[in-house]
Amino acid sequence: MKVVYTCFCTDVIHEGHLNIINEAQKLGEVTVGVLADAASIRYNRFPAVSLEERIRLVEAIPGVAHVIVQNEIMYDEIFERLHPDYIVHGDNWSLPSMQAIYQNIKNLIKKYGGELVEIPYTYSENVQRTDHQMIEKLAMPEFRRGRLRKLLQMVPIVKTIEVHSGLTGLIAEKTVVVDGETIDQFDAMWISSLCDSTEKGKPDIELVDMTSRFQTIEDVMEVTTKPVIFDGDTGGLTEHFVYTVRSLERMGVSAVIIEDKTGLKKNSLFGTEVEQTQAGIEDFSAKIAAGKKAQLSDDFMIIARIESLILEQGMEDALKRARAFVEAGADGIMIHSRRKEPDEILEFCDKFRAENKETPLVVVPSSFNVVTEEELAAHGVNICIYANQLLRAAFPAMENAAKSILKHHRAKEIDSELMPIKQIITLIDEINY
């Protein structure tokens, strides 16, 4: 019997998959690989059902002899293990990620032998509808909210990018980078107070009210599926914070991060150049505890952000606060710094991890941007937030376009640096009905 292999990365079996198995069966004994969670997240999308359920779905297809787990997107381990005579795959190779997979299979066939059999992809109305339903499920508040906790179990570090609008949400949702045989994308989105305020031409001093901040969340959520972490500033009055927690939960936000400051909050990257007051440990612990008590869902997270290093209060103060805030019920700790080097952040992480192995750690490497995700993960960091880069990328590009038009009294000179009109009018998917 010939060894025939195909890999599925899906939550639902539709006629396209059945067609692949049908064709594969004609070639020999069929083994199906089910792509593991961590690999699915990087390549395609977050799985809406567990690996065990996905295995059971595939096992139930007539004509499937064996089901195994494919741990990596690339096929190296599969060739080493099975030496397949045939790799059966849909012929939808147009995306850069698919091109990388195609090249990988071709290279492995050169090394191990075997043959790639391409099956015309089934583009039926039913298949497209099933695909859209799978994506829509991920966007539902109940499902989206719990995704951050699941991600924390699945990936070494949750890569989070700042978004402040529907458009930036789409960038976070859809940007995939293929680097050789590595495929990568962001896991989650950060609704930054700095960027949300700046986008509205306002200072980052809790001036933009919650109703307006919630509208930004809605704008983002309407066009995305990835989990949202909300920058809750100081959380405001405890009496107000408990309402914020409920609203965020209801919207499907996964976590709020509140910082231990009181009075007029200014952006942390000003550090001690401006007057800022750190909240007392007891008061801030009470705010966390009140939020946790008000929370109704199990999966929402309240993360406490410690400003001791920003306000030059020292490492011991930061650690003391971390202990107290975890004790008060915080589901995670964010530690911040505005130093160019990551030393004090890494020192905090090492010291915190020495006494606490479980509580997720969050870091925002805006100033200490030399540090890599891998280094952070090695020091026990679980969530890395790129807190303002999309907004900072957009502003100089827009200002440059404005200046060029003023200088040349026409728009021709800047046009080559702009997105083509055809591309912008077709950028947004329309709903077909």
Q: What would the x/- binding string for Mg ion be over residues 163 to 202, using CB under 5 A?
A: ------------------------------xx--------
Options 31, 308, 366, 382; binder of ligand SPV; rule CB under 6 A: 366
Give yes or no for a contact between 8 and 34, defined as CB atoms under 8 angstroms apart. yes
Burial of 257 (0-12, 13-18, 19+ CB in 10 A): buried
Least separation in angstroms between residue 305's CB and ligand SPV is 8
Contact partner at residue 217 from ligand SPV, Mg ion, none, CB < 5 to 8 Å by partner kind = none
Options 269, 286, 377, 378; binder of ligand SPV; rule CB under 6 A: 269
Sign of CA dihedral 374, 375, 378, 384: negative
Least separation in angstroms between residue 266's CB and Mg ion is 10
- Alpha-carbon span 334 to 257, nearest angstrom: 8
261-262 and 277-278: which strand pairing? Answer: antiparallel
Q: Phi-psi category of 63—alpha, beta or left, where left has phi over 0 and alpha has psi -120 to 50?
A: left
Options 234, 244, 267, 337; binder of ligand SPV; rule CB under 6 A: 267
DSSP SS3 for 267? coil
Least separation in angstroms between residue 4's CB and Mg ion is 53
Give the other-Cβ count within 10 Å of 180's Cβ. 9
Residue 231 binds ligand SPV (CB under 6 A):
yes
Give yes or no for a contact between 230 and 256, defined as CB atoms under 8 angstroms apart. yes
Q: Please report, as a single letter, which amino acid is at residue 180.
A: G
- Alpha-carbon span 162 to 228, nearest angstrom: 10
Establish whether 204 is a catalytic residue: yes
Give yes or no for a contact between 3 and 82, defined as CB atoms under 8 angstroms apart. yes
Q: What is the footprint of ligand SPV within residues 188-217 (CB under 6 A)?
A: 192-194, 204
Closest to ligand SPV by CB, 246 or 266: 266
Options 88, 349, 387, 391; binder of ligand SPV; rule CB under 6 A: 387
Residue 231 binds Mg ion (CB under 5 A):
yes
Residue 38 binds ligand SPV (CB under 6 A):
no
- Alpha-carbon span 8 to 325, nearest angstrom: 43
Contact partner at residue 268 from Mg ion, ligand SPV, none, CB < 5 to 8 Å by partner kind = ligand SPV
DSSP SS3 for 366? coil
Least separation in angstroms between residue 199's CB and ligand SPV is 11
Give yes or no for a contact between 68 and 33, defined as CB atoms under 8 angstroms apart. yes
Number of residue whose CB is nearest ligand SPV: 192
Closest to ligand SPV by CB, 19 or 313: 313
Stretch that binds ligand SPV, among 69-77, 115-123, 165-173, 186-194 (CB under 6 A): 186-194
Task: Write the CB contacts of 399 (distance below 8 Å, at least 6 apart in sequence).
Answer: none
Residue 225 binds Mg ion (CB under 5 A):
no
Least separation in angstroms between residue 366's CB and ligand SPV is 5
- Alpha-carbon span 161 to 172, nearest angstrom: 7
Contacts with ligand SPV by CB under 6 A lie at 192-194, 204, 231, 267-269, 364, 366, 387-388
Contacts with Mg ion by CB under 5 A lie at 193-194, 231
